[in-house]
């Protein structure tokens, strides 16, 4: 009887999970498999040669443009992640430690306000702010700080970093905030009681205990950033393009879907490898929590 | 006795809540001192004031002659065992215990030796490499103790350290804490809401209600001579009997509901006022006369058993006395020669006038 009940229960479970499972398989695993398959085919002028070959991969590794774009993507995503997490930490810390408990929900709500506008609008906004005749340049010139407009802030890597760091800030604030909220405040008092200054207590207790949040924030920012293609396209200029832009070009402009698929697979593998490092890091930090 | 900790005129308010009212208190060097009171009486706030986690609006705090209120917690000669133990979950047992050892003890071998010694003191030798999160409640508490004692503070502050343990464990830790305190000779200040624990462990007890200290005395002093009805009701069990104090031909008499009229005992007569009063009598100062017992030397009244509670070693009887306002509770040791009486039994109750307390604090 008990066994029947269990079987019945797992059947119900499967039934409940079925629709999203079908959805996930159809819309995620299916296309992924297609991409993988495509990456082993080659473009043969007008049609696709479906012989399985590693030629695309060979070319991807040989041609410096792909390597540079891939490297640049990892670099930009890394810088964006670092900048975002470093800027998000003080905000999360402030909300967790210095905002009255009944106001915290309000503050978190305020943090999410940028999401109310579309991502695209926010990117354009940065274009307006950072442009040659943009808000920043005209203000600085009006104040007499600079003589002529700064050109280092738009259509290059800096613009991409600034725009992405702003766009992903709430994603970084939330996990860090949650990790900080979970820290038992008496631990900090204990550190002080045992002779630590406020700074040392932060360094020895708060920061190590907040690390799972920091790692989660890094992962959440890093993964979507590395594949971002709207921001580099709109504010990156020629020097700020990333791998995703090249994938798009391969698919749509050069009509070389197999090469685009190969680059997509390689990008995924890099993200996977880096994410794995983060996950291992987090396991180390989570050890001892239970 | 020289005061190691000296508090005077301490006041602390949170918004509209007066947490500490004009608290003045001296705690001697090497004392095991308890702050006892119901939850919300301010005892923890007082402890945290000594530790440096609360800053009172007014008053002075001196430890070992030094003014302390402007000294931050990390620079005070006090260490604390937190109610939650506050064991660092990301560190091993040894790292927890050695957390407060400064870089001054840079010598690694020496540091390790001190940690071993501290762990040995609390009976956790060989646990140094364990992860802190893998410890039981009792072990966590020992780590918290070792972590504080390793720094050889002048004062060890304990915030309800035993409340999270089960009864058996708690009793064991009570005697162990006493032993430790004698061994290291450090002043212990314990916060507890458990009156039994305070009586068992302390050299002296401060009973607190609503932010103010009601009485400071030895355990016997608090139990035998509670200064107010509130203290008497909080510490142990107490029968309160309404009555009056009157004068008859120069002699003070007490009319006590259910017990009759007696000349007021000498020690009470010294402070008594004429008029309404509450008389207090502990359950052990009343005894039921059994056939085999010798005749009473004190006073006695006749009554009926209303209710009984059997505790194994003791039986508590609620006895209706004619003319009494409510039943009085009487505790009897269960001897083989004594039957456990059923409700409704007629009994004769003897009591000692010398054990009476008198409250006229209204």
Helix, strand or coil, per DSSP, at residue A164: helix
B148 and B227 share one domain: yes
Residue A236 lies in a domain: yes
Q: Which residues of A touch B73 (CB under 8 A)?
A: 189, 192-193
**Which residues on chain A place their C-beta less than 8 Å from a C-beta of chain B?**
184, 186-187, 189-197, 204-205, 208-209, 285, 287-290
Rounded Cα distance, A190 and A180, in Å = 16
Mean pLDDT of B193-218: 95
Candidates A122, A192, A191, A130; CA nearest to A157 is A130
B21 and B136 share one domain: yes
Q: Any chain A CB within 8 A of the CB of B133? A: yes
Q: Which residues of B touch A197 (CB under 8 A)?
A: 74
B108 and B84 share one domain: yes
**Chain B nearest CA to A104, separation (Å):** 20
Candidates B131, B102, B96, B130; CA nearest to B115 is B96
Rounded Cα distance, B288 and B350, in Å = 6
> Are B89 and A205 an interchain contact pair (Cβ–Cβ within 8 Å)?
no
User: Residue B122: is its pLDDT beyond 70?
Assistant: yes
B345 and B268 share one domain: yes
Domain count, chain A: 1
Q: Which residues of B touch A205 (CB under 8 A)?
A: 88
pLDDT digits (tens, 9 = 90+) for B321-343: 988 888 999 999 998 888 889 99
**Chain B nearest CA to A34, separation (Å):** 45
Domain count, chain B: 2
Contact in structure between A265 and A243 (CB atoms under 8 Å): no
> Are B79 and A197 an interchain contact pair (Cβ–Cβ within 8 Å)?
no
B300 and B247 share one domain: yes
B13 and B149 share one domain: yes
Rounded Cα distance, A112 and A123, in Å = 16
pLDDT digits (tens, 9 = 90+) for B76-88: 999 999 999 999 9
Higher pLDDT, B333 or A46: B333
Rounded Cα distance, B359 and B234, in Å = 14
Contact in structure between B130 and A287 (CB atoms under 8 Å): no
B280 and B220 share one domain: no
Contact in structure between A180 and A147 (CB atoms under 8 Å): no
| Residue in chain A lying closest to B100 (CA) | A194
Higher pLDDT, B299 or A64: A64
- Provide the pLDDT for residue A290: 40
Work out whether the CA dihedral B285, B288, B293, B298 comes out positive or negative: positive
pLDDT band of B270, cuts 50, 70, 90: confident
Q: What is the CATH number of the domain that holds B164?
A: 3.40.50.300
Mean residue pLDDT across chain B:
90
Q: What is the CATH number of the domain that holds B257?
A: 2.40.50.140
- Provide the pLDDT for residue A202: 96
Q: Where are the beta strands (DSSP E) in B199-250?
A: 204-209, 212-217, 239-248
Interface probe with B: pick from A187, A191, A193, most Cβ of B within 10 Å = A193
The residues facing B262 across adjacent strands are B254
* Tokens read off for B76: 């005070």
* Tokens read off for A35: 């991409």
Rounded Cα distance, A226 and A168, in Å = 12
Q: Which residues of B touch A289 (CB under 8 A)?
A: 89-90, 133
Of B52, B86, B131, the CB nearest to A190: B86
Helix, strand or coil, per DSSP, at residue B179: helix
Rounded Cα distance, A161 and B39, in Å = 54
- Provide the pLDDT for residue B238: 93
> How far from A19 is each of A10, A213, B135, CA to CA, in Å?
15, 32, 44
**Chain B nearest CA to A249, separation (Å):** 48
Rounded Cα distance, A119 and A71, in Å = 25
Candidates A133, A157, A152, A166; CA nearest to A238 is A157
Residue with tokens 């509130």: B230
| Residue in chain B lying closest to A208 (CA) | B90
Crossing angle between the packed helical segments A207-226 and A64-98, to the nearest 10 degrees:
140
Host domain of residue A252: 67-286
pLDDT digits (tens, 9 = 90+) for B55-69: 999 999 999 999 999
**Chain B nearest CA to A287, separation (Å):** 8
Rounded Cα distance, B11 and B212, in Å = 9
Last residue of a domain, one of B233, B252, B272: B233
| Residue in chain A lying closest to B97 (CA) | A194
Helix, strand or coil, per DSSP, at residue A22: helix
Host domain of residue B40: 3-233
- Provide the pLDDT for residue A1: 46
B60 and B147 share one domain: yes
Candidates A185, A191, A189, A193; CA nearest to B75 is A193
In this structure, what are the phi and psi dihedrals at residue B326, rounded to the nearest 5 degrees? Answer: -145, 165
> Are A196 and B74 an interchain contact pair (Cβ–Cβ within 8 Å)?
yes
Q: What is the CATH number of the domain that holds A99?
A: 1.10.3720.10
User: Residue A2: is its pLDDT beyond 60?
Assistant: no
Q: Which residues of B touch A287 (CB under 8 A)?
A: 131
| Residue in chain A lying closest to B79 (CA) | A193
Of A193, A208, A285, the CB nearest to B51: A193
Rounded Cα distance, B242 and B240, in Å = 7
B222 and B291 share one domain: no
Residue with tokens 């608290």: B23
B151 and B264 share one domain: no
Rounded Cα distance, A56 and A258, in Å = 7
User: Residue B164: is its pLDDT beyond 90?
Assistant: no
Last residue of a domain, one of B233, B253, B287: B233
Last residue of a domain, one of B233, B268, B291: B233
> Are A289 and B89 an interchain contact pair (Cβ–Cβ within 8 Å)?
yes
Mean residue pLDDT across chain A:
89
pLDDT digits (tens, 9 = 90+) for A111-168: 988 888 888 898 998 989 988 888 888 899 999 888 888 888 888 888 999 999 998 9
* Tokens read off for B142: 């020992």
B213 and B260 share one domain: no
B12 and B129 share one domain: yes
Contact in structure between A123 and A252 (CB atoms under 8 Å): no
Q: Which residues of A touch B96 (CB under 8 A)?
A: none
pLDDT band of B168, cuts 50, 70, 90: confident
> How far from B28 is each of B2, B8, B50, B203, B346, CA to CA, in Å?
6, 14, 14, 10, 51
What was the ipTM of the complex prediction? 0.84
User: Residue A63: is its pLDDT beyond 60?
Assistant: yes
Residue A169 lies in a domain: yes
């Amino acid at each position: 009887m008990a066994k029947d009940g269990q079987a019945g229960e797992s059947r119900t479970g499967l039934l409940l999970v079925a629709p999203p499972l079908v959805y996930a398989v159809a819309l995620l695993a299916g296309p992924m498999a297609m991409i993988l398959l495509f990456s082993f085919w080659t473009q043969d002028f007008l049609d696709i040669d479906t012989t399985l070959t590693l030629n695309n991969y060979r070319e991807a590794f040989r041609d410096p443009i792909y390597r540079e774009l891939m490297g640049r993507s990892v670099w930009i995503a890394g810088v964006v992640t670092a900048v975002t997490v470093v800027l998000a930490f003080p905000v999360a810390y402030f909300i967790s430690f210095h905002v009255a408990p009944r106001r915290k929900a309000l503050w978190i709500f305020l943090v999410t306000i940028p999401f109310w506008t579309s991502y695209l609008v926010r990117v354009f906004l940065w274009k307006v702010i950072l442009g040659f005749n943009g808000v920043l340049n005209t203000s600085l010139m009006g104040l007499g700080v600079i003589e002529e407009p700064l050109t280092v802030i738009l259509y290059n890597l800096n613009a991409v970093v600034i725009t992405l760091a702003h766009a992903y800030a709430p994603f970084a604030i939330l996990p860090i905030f949650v990790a900080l909220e979970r820290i038992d405040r008496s631990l900090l008092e204990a550190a002080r009681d045992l002779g630590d200054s406020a700074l040392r207590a932060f360094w020895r207790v708060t920061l190590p205990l907040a690390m799972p949040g920091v790692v989660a924030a890094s992962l959440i920012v890093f993964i979507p950033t590395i594949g971002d293609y709207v921001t580099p396209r709109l504010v990156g200029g020629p020097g700020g393009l990333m791998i995703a832009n090249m994938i798009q070009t391969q698919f749509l402009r050069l009509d070389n879907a197999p090469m685009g698929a190969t680059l997509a697979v390689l990008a995924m593998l890099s993200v996977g490898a880096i994410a794995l490092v983060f996950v291992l890091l987090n396991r180390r930090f989570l050890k001892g929590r239970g | 006795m020289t005061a190691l900790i000296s508090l005077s005129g301490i006041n602390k308010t949170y918004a509209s809540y007066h947490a500490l009212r004009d608290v003045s208190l001296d705690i001697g060097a090497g004392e095991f001192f308890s702050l006892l009171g119901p939850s919300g009486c301010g005892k923890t706030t007082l402890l945290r004031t000594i530790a440096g986690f609360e800053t009172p609006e007014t008053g002075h705090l001196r430890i070992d002659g030094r003014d302390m209120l402007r000294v931050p917690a990390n620079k005070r000669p006090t260490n604390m065992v937190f109610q939650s133990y506050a064991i660092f979950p990301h560190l091993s047992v040894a790292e927890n215990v050695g957390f407060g050892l400064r870089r001054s003890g840079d010598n690694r071998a020496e540091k390790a030796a001190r940690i071993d010694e501290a762990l040995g003191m609390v009976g956790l030798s060989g646990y140094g490499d364990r992860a802190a999160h893998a410890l039981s409640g009792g072990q966590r508490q020992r780590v918290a103790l070792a972590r504080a004692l390793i720094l050889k503070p002048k004062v060890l502050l304990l915030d309800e350290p035993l409340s999270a343990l089960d009864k058996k464990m708690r009793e064991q830790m009570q005697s162990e804490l006493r032993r430790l305190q004698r061994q290291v000779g450090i002043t212990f200040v314990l916060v507890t809401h458990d009156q039994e624990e305070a009586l068992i462990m302390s050299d002296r007890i401060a009973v607190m209600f609503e932010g103010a200290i009601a009485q400071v005395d030895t355990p016997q002093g608090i139990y035998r001579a509670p200064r107010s009805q509130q203290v008497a009701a909080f510490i142990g069990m107490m029968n309160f009997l309404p009555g009056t104090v009157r004068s008859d031909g120069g002699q003070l008499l007490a009319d006590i509901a259910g017990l009759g009229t007696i000349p007021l005992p000498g020690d009470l007569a010294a402070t008594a006022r004429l008029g309404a009063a509450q008389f207090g009598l502990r359950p052990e100062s009343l005894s039921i006369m059994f056939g085999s017992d010798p005749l009473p030397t004190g006073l006695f009244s006749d009554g009926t058993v209303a209710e009984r509670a059997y505790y194994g070693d003791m039986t508590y009887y609620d006895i209706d006395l004619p003319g009494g306002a409510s039943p009085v509770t009487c505790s009897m040791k269960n001897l083989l020669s004594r039957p456990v009486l059923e409700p409704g039994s007629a009994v004769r109750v003897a009591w000692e006038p010398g054990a009476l307390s008198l409250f006229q604090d209204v």
